Amino acid sequence: MRVLRILLAFCVAPLVPLLVLAVNFVATVWPRGQPVRITQLMAPGMVALSYGIALVGGVPTFLLMRKFGKNRWWHYAVGGALLGALLVMCAVIPEFHWDFALVGLAIAAPCGALAGSAFWLLGIYRNP
C-alpha cells in the first residue's frame, strides 16, 4: 500500500496546481463572455512540463527527504516552492527578463508549494 500511495501521489500531485490555475482562468475569463477552448484550460505543454519537473526534480527531492527523515507537510511545501522557483530561474536567466522573473516567481513558487503539499497529503500523510 505504501508504494502504491507514493506512485499515486507522483501521478496526481503535478496536476493539482494546473487545475487551480484552470479554475482561476475560468473564473476570470468566462464572466467576460469570451469563448474558452479546452486547450486554454490545461495546455498539453504545461502538463508535460509539470510531470517533467516532478520526474527530474521531485523524485530526487523525495528520496533526499526520505533519507534525512523530513516527513512534515511544510518540508514538501518548501521543496515544491523551491522547484517551482528553480524552473522560473532556469527559464529567465539565459535572457535576463527580470520583470518576467518576478511574475513567474509569484505564480510558480506557490504552485510548487501546492503540488508539494498535495504530494505529502496523497503519499506521505498517515502512510506507515
Contacts 24+ apart (CB under 8 A), 87-91: 87/49, 87/53, 87/112
Query: How many structural domains compose the chain?
Result: 1
DSSP letter assigned to residue 32: G
Structural domain containing residue 111: 2-124
Q: What is the mean pLDDT of residues 37-43?
A: 65
Q: What pLDDT score was predicted for residue 108?
A: 85
pLDDT tens for 94-125 read: 666 666 677 778 888 999 999 999 999 999 99
H helices of the chain, in order, are 2-12, 15-29, 38-41, 44-53, 59-68, 73-92, 98-119
* DSSP-derived 3-state class of residue 36: coil
pTM tops 0.85: no
